[in-house]
Structure 1
Amino acid sequence: MKRGDGHAIFTAECSHSFHFHCIASNVKHGNQICPVCRAKWKEIPLQSPSLDPPPGRARITPVDWPQNDALMTVIRRIPPPRPNSNRHIMPLPQAPEPTVFDDDESLDQRTAIIDKSSSNTNIADNDFQRTIKINTFPEVPAVTQSDSYDNFAVLVHIKAPDTGSGKNPNRNQANLPQISQTPRVPVDLVTVLDISGSMVGTKLALLKRAMGFVIQNLGSTDRLSVIAFSSTARRLFPLQRMSDMGRHQALQAVNSLVANGGTNIAEGLRKGAKVMEDRREKNPVASIILLSDGQDTYTVSGSGANKQQPNYRLLLPLSIHGNDSAAFKIPVHSFGFGMDHDASSMHSISEISGGTFSFIETESVIQDAFAQCIGGLLSVVVKDLQVCIECIDPTLCINSLSAGSYPNRMMADRRTGFIDVGDLYADEERDFLISVNVPVNFSSNETSLLKVRCVYNDPLTKKQTVTLESEEVRIKRNEIAGQGMVSIEVDRQKNRLQAADAMAQARSAAEQGDLAGAVSILESCRRVLSETLSAKSGDRLCVALDAELKEMQERLASRHVYEASGRAYILSGLSSHSWQRATARGDSTDSASLVGAYQTPTMTEMLSRSQATLLGSPSAQRPVRSVWSFASQPKRR
């Protein structure tokens, strides 16, 4: 056995070389012939008990470490392979992939579609708790009869139901935080993982550990498939249920990954989408997680200033990007890993699919980032939500719908508008600003503006359609002008939208080389926000927005800093605000910062569990503070 660039290499008597842990596992199962030339070996590799590593050498522990092990103190940075290394590592042969991926494991018909592992809660008896909540806030409560407005703002606030407050008192294994054990819908999850040469060493070890966490936290009714890509893409295993056997097989497959080759993101996503498209059966929730640490070397053309970003809407199948007239089908939640990933492409992929883009600046945060994501995916309580806004007064029309990245449209008469929201996680909130005209009105002391209707599917109760209507939004019409208090809820959301717009403008300026102009745009926005009602009242969102804009200014200090982290940080912020969903940014998923502003309780619980496994015990973990939402700020006065 010889040592090779951070990996133990076994050279057989037939002169073919393999990674030691891969071939030892092969031999352990009774295979004593060379996978390449089929020669029968007389000398076979055996895995001896692990010994303490010599000083200066690191030991990479596999993903099935005991969960109470202090992983972060064990993993050390492994040096990258020497550039002049010409050793060719032969991967273990893979079973040929079928032409059609219709070999997904059948759903567990004994458990219906709902995971009730903890209790027999009667969901039907709690329907009143499982409906979304609709609140509306006019910009001001009263307008003088003689006044008219061209852009009067009305805030529509939507909140998804929670998962229920029930906890399983018996689930406290290994002193880990309790995870809500309430009924939920199972998911079909495909992870598309970059194993190109740049992932060698610590990055790949941390990815394996993070995937181990994901696998261990999926339920027996959830299904998982893993796609690994470098120069090409391959499916490690079909979509299979995470039963005890399924978890064991998934952990083995992930732990066998070896980093080499280029980066072909589009091919990896196409294969991941094919798993979803070809499956015979479907769980109610489906999603793709994409992780990459490098530039797409097979899709991007040119370099430097001449680099051309690919149009992923043309490269990826319809099942990922949907179309302009329908809700997204399979969201891709992309994770840019480290300083060298292609943030623009990763953000583009998530944006066209309806997913989020997270920036993992510090390698050790990867598991927390995955934990936050699956904490949401495992708590979907609303499917295919559409918000309908209708004008009531015959003289009113809608001027605009401020819905971020959500598809929206208006009827030709501009009196009815629609916003396609899609799925909501438990306790998630969405805010949409509607701009309408308010005409002069001398004939009444009140004007009815809007009513809001929400139509969605409840995956927990299998109700095909749930329809809810809000109360009418009305404003008083006074004869004499009075001082009307501006709604702090409306003011807060105006600030959020203005900050997001400033981020987009700053990014555009930076891409054109005008870093000073980008910094100036953000500074101007900070000044404007500081003069608003919500900022002066100490609103938490405004404080966090200012801190985020300041952080972005610092990441625009130079071209090098912007290329290394500024672009990814800004794009991750834009993704979070445009979808109003939590993303990982920089080196933190801390719910006390704006990075965690959209975090839900289930995300926070999963983060607590992740950090407990990383640091050995809850008492040693970094504290995860209580989540806060933009809607939980000071109310109108």
Structure 2
Amino acid sequence: MGSKWRKAKMALSCLYVPSSTDDSSPTNRIGERFSDAALLSPSPSSIGRSSDVSMPKTPMPSSAGLLLPKHSSKSSKRTCAICLTNMKPGQGHAIFTAECSHSFHFHCITSNVKHGNQICPICRAKWREVPLKSPASDLSNRKSRANAGGLHQDASWTTVFRRSPAPRADANRHTSSFFHTPPEPATFDDDEHVDDQSEILETGLSKKTDTHDHTRGALEIKTYPEVSAISKSASQKDFNVLIHLKAVSSMIRNSGKNENNARAPVDLVTVLDVSGSMAGTKLALVKRAMGFVIQHLGPSDRLSVIAFSSTARRVFSLRRMTDDGKQDALQAVNSLLSSGGTNIAEGLRKGAKVVIDRKWKNPVTSIILLSDGQDTYTISSPGGQVKAKADYHSLIPSSIHHDDGGSGIHIPVHAFGFGSDHDAALMHSVSEASGGTFSFIEAENAIQDAFAQCIGGLLSVVVQELNLKIECVNSMIKLGSVKAGSYKSRLNPDSRTGFISVGDLYADEERDFLVEVNIPADGSSDNTTLLRMSYSYKDPITKEVANVEEPNKVEIERPAAVTGKLIVSMEVDRQRNRVTAAEAIAKARSAAEQGDLSVAVSVLEDCRKEIWESISAQAGDKLCMGLCAELKEMQERMASRKVYETSGRAYVLSGLSSHSWQRATARGDSTDSTTLLQSYQTPSMVDMVSRSQTMYLGTPSSSSSSSSSRNRLLRQSMSFPAGGPQPR
């Protein structure tokens, strides 16, 4: 019995609930409604778990940042422990008092029990009588919510009880992660309908226009030639031209609201690992992070939750995040229990099925995948050995594959590798194949910040299906190559036209592409026009397609002779360093996977020195400084095979994902500002991460040393080698 209590206390040690001095304050009610306490109740299966289920290998968070709430009898009687709102007579809510004497809103506890919880959220007592909501009372409740007063009549509630059966003595039977959940439908077409745009979004019809005078989103293009002039008699091969894109928008950048259709609504499907290794702190932290996500989705956004262990199950259908939707989503997440193996492929298939089967569609769609372990079903053999030549790409359903030839719907999967035991190669491959990003969450308590950064971007999409066309103006000019990272690009056979499929852009998000141009000698002109650009994109709200001819062209001067030393463009040089670093990281990763860590370290060191000696680094450019610090960190994480297997591979792959997509990812220990590169963060991402940190377990960041250290994630994480130049 003592052992059970110790485990329960450990699971509860990550709770902190701020006290409230004004129960009637609307602000306090909102804060209480979405408090983490409702999400962090330990699951029944976390106590007395069978010995063959793996327990968490990571230490519990320190008490400095995570505190145990103290529920007095007075507060528990006046506050519902599930929704954390007041329970006062006359407010129109029926109140249920359990056999252990603790009280809850009737609609809260019936929904909680429906998801499998048969233990009191306050005292952890096992209930023999379980409250159920009758269909008649449920209908009456829904009708009462629609009336002008918005009050429930207690008479409309019929308290129904079901006696909980005595547990069977079967030591070999695992507690199911999906206890007492109803059977799933064969087709997930029961998604809640969207707003007035539903008809347009369902048919996928778009208006076409040749202008880009949009009030919600537009694109800015700037170009930078490597140098401003080449003599008439000189020819230049692989001359670099930088094309800089930025998505700008006049929309309200408030990710938690959707006022006046200020942003495009989102369909978000979260695929969460609830295997046995997630027991305890890990699952509690994921629940807390999901609570933050739910809180910041708007009433037009929709959320679905898939949980997977040995199998996968949809535990929450695709529903709008209205007040009722949020409450039900919180209860569904809170009901998750951990047990069994890890079947990532089944979780992805189920998540893709939700996306494919939905009847209605919001403009922006994404899947978030989180796992802390190895796939023990699809990739591994029954004996636990990894299959030879594992086909990670096969885990992505063909219908949402990024490079399926244009026949799919292209839903990005943003993968999060949790802890030191996850399969980084699998997670990175899944994200790369779908057009998403891979984040490495080394510090477990950083999961909420990582989710916050991701949804900060998803809730600010202003440009979709962006395609860039690059053409040579002069008939003698030829394109050498297009360095676009993971974005699909191609050149026409005549090498005079190139294309880049950029896809979606968040508000104020930037993309940089280096184009190599072959320039011949030209003695007939004082300047040479190299390139012109055009592009098309779709407005995610109006569904209009804009086709834009960029008026500015790339030109260079052609003097008879170039006098003096030409100054290389700082913008071109810094982006060339980024491309060089990404190529070196990929090469080092290949060497490390082949077992040659010394070669991998040497590749990274050579690249670091090359970047450090560049003109942009010597001028103190922050991006270059960050690249040098990051390459140094990767070298340290390749110090030995054990270090590489534990954290090096995941750190390298998350960095590679970030640079190849030019999009922010979480990687490494996010409390260490010297190891993170946040150059790709957008203002919406920064704002959302700031909210996550200032709302860290409901406490101001300044009041906790742990929260204070986490605030360093917002800083531009650049370190300068000893004796090096400082930024201007």
Q: When the two structures are superposed, what TM-score results if normalisation uses the length of structure 1?
A: 0.81
CA contact (8 A) 2:191 2:360 kept: yes
User: Cα distance, 1:277 vs. partner?
Assistant: 0.4
Give secondary structure in 2 for the equivalent of 1:455: strand
Residues 1:560 and 2:647 are matched in the alignment? no
Give 1:617's aligned residue: 700
My pick for the range that moved more, 206-215 or 591-600, is 591-600
Give 1:252's aligned residue: 331
Distance 1:614 1:230 in 2: 28
* Residues 1:470 and 1:194: Cα distance change in structure 2 (over 3 Å): farther
Give 2:373's aligned residue: 294
* Residues 1:589 and 1:401: Cα distance change in structure 2 (over 3 Å): farther
Give 1:70's aligned residue: none
Pairing of 1:84-163 with structure 2 (within 5 A): 86=172, 88-89=174-175, 92-109=179-196, 127=214, 130-163=217-250
Distance 1:438 1:389 in 2: 16
Distance 1:167 1:188 in 2: 18
* Residues 1:47 and 1:614: Cα distance change in structure 2 (over 3 Å): same
Residues 1:338 and 2:411 are matched in the alignment? no
Give secondary structure in 2 for the equivalent of 1:568: helix
Equivalent position to 1:189, from 264, 268, 287:
268
CA contact (8 A) 1:369 1:589 kept: no
Distance 1:107 1:232 in 2: 30
Give 1:55's aligned residue: none
User: Cα distance, 1:32 vs. partner?
Assistant: 11
User: Cα distance, 1:317 vs. partner?
Assistant: 1.7
User: Cα distance, 1:467 vs. partner?
Assistant: 1.9
Distance 1:536 1:49 in 2: 60
Give 2:392's aligned residue: 312
User: Cα distance, 1:310 vs. partner?
Assistant: 2.9
* Residues 1:9 and 1:447: Cα distance change in structure 2 (over 3 Å): closer
Deviations 1:18-61 (A, max 9, x none): xxx9999999539999x9xxxxxxxx967274499xxxxxxxxx
CA contact (8 A) 2:222 2:244 kept: yes
User: Cα distance, 1:530 vs. partner?
Assistant: 1.6
Q: 2:528 corresponds to which letter in structure 1?
A: T
User: Cα distance, 1:573 vs. partner?
Assistant: 0.1
User: Cα distance, 1:325 vs. partner?
Assistant: 3.4
Give secondary structure in 2 for the equivalent of 1:335: strand
User: Cα distance, 1:130 vs. partner?
Assistant: 3.1
CA contact (8 A) 2:678 2:717 kept: no
Distance 1:367 1:588 in 2: 11
Q: 2:392 corresponds to which letter in structure 1?
A: Y
My pick for the range that moved more, 461-470 or 343-352, is 461-470
Give 2:347's aligned residue: 268
Give secondary structure in 2 for the equivalent of 1:296: coil
CA contact (8 A) 1:502 1:522 kept: yes
User: Cα distance, 1:550 vs. partner?
Assistant: 0.3
Distance 2:295 2:111 in 1: 28
Distance 1:539 1:45 in 2: 58
Q: 1:148 corresponds to which letter in structure 2?
A: S
Q: Which structure's relative contact order is higher, taking Cα pairs within 8 Å and 6+ residues apart?
A: 1
Give 1:406's aligned residue: 487
User: Cα distance, 1:385 vs. partner?
Assistant: 0.2
**Bigger-Rg structure (1/2):** 2
Give 1:218's aligned residue: 297
Distance 1:277 1:396 in 2: 45
Distance 1:590 1:182 in 2: 38
Equivalent position to 2:581, from 490, 495, 499:
499
Q: 1:617 corresponds to which letter in structure 2?
A: P
Give secondary structure in 2 for the equivalent of 1:155: strand
Equivalent position to 2:505, from 417, 424, 431:
424
Distance 2:417 2:216 in 1: 37
* Residues 1:129 and 1:93: Cα distance change in structure 2 (over 3 Å): closer
User: Cα distance, 1:127 vs. partner?
Assistant: 3.2
My pick for the range that moved more, 475-484 or 252-261, is 475-484
Equivalent position to 2:620, from 535, 538, 541:
538
Give 1:234's aligned residue: 313
User: Cα distance, 1:504 vs. partner?
Assistant: 0.6
* Residues 1:455 and 1:591: Cα distance change in structure 2 (over 3 Å): farther
Aligned residue-pair number = 565
Distance 1:8 1:317 in 2: 32
User: Cα distance, 1:304 vs. partner?
Assistant: 9.5
CA contact (8 A) 1:309 1:345 kept: no
Q: 2:267 corresponds to which letter in structure 1?
A: D
User: Cα distance, 1:239 vs. partner?
Assistant: 0.6
* Residues 1:142 and 1:245: Cα distance change in structure 2 (over 3 Å): same
Distance 2:597 2:385 in 1: 16
Give secondary structure in 1 for the equivalent of 2:214: helix
CA contact (8 A) 2:476 2:520 kept: yes
Q: 1:246 corresponds to which letter in structure 2?
A: G
CA contact (8 A) 1:590 1:596 kept: no
- Stretches of structure 2 that go unaligned for 5 or more consecutive residues are 9-41, 46-80, 83-97, 100-105, 126-169, 202-210, 719-728
Distance 1:599 1:113 in 2: 32
CA contact (8 A) 1:191 1:226 kept: yes
Equivalent position to 1:396, from 463, 466, 477:
477
Deviations 1:110-135 (A, max 9, x none): 89999xxxxxxxxx998367321000
Distance 2:258 2:111 in 1: 41
User: Cα distance, 1:384 vs. partner?
Assistant: 0.2
Residues 1:509 and 2:619 are matched in the alignment? no
Give 1:355's aligned residue: 436
Distance 1:48 1:497 in 2: 52
Distance 1:357 1:427 in 2: 21
Distance 1:460 1:30 in 2: 35
User: Cα distance, 1:232 vs. partner?
Assistant: 0.3
Distance 1:440 1:240 in 2: 63
Q: 2:391 corresponds to which letter in structure 1?
A: N
User: Cα distance, 1:613 vs. partner?
Assistant: 1.5
CA RMSD of aligned residues (A): 3.6
Deviations 1:279-332 (A, max 9, x none): 111000000000000000011136899653532333432232143533871000
Equivalent position to 1:582, from 664, 667, 681:
664
Distance 1:424 1:293 in 2: 29
- Stretches of structure 1 that go unaligned for 5 or more consecutive residues are 11-20, 36-43, 53-83, 115-123, 172-177, 631-637
Distance 1:534 1:156 in 2: 18
Q: When the two structures are superposed, what TM-score results if normalisation uses the length of structure 2?
A: 0.72
User: Cα distance, 1:596 vs. partner?
Assistant: 1.4
Give secondary structure in 2 for the equivalent of 1:387: strand
Distance 1:157 1:332 in 2: 26
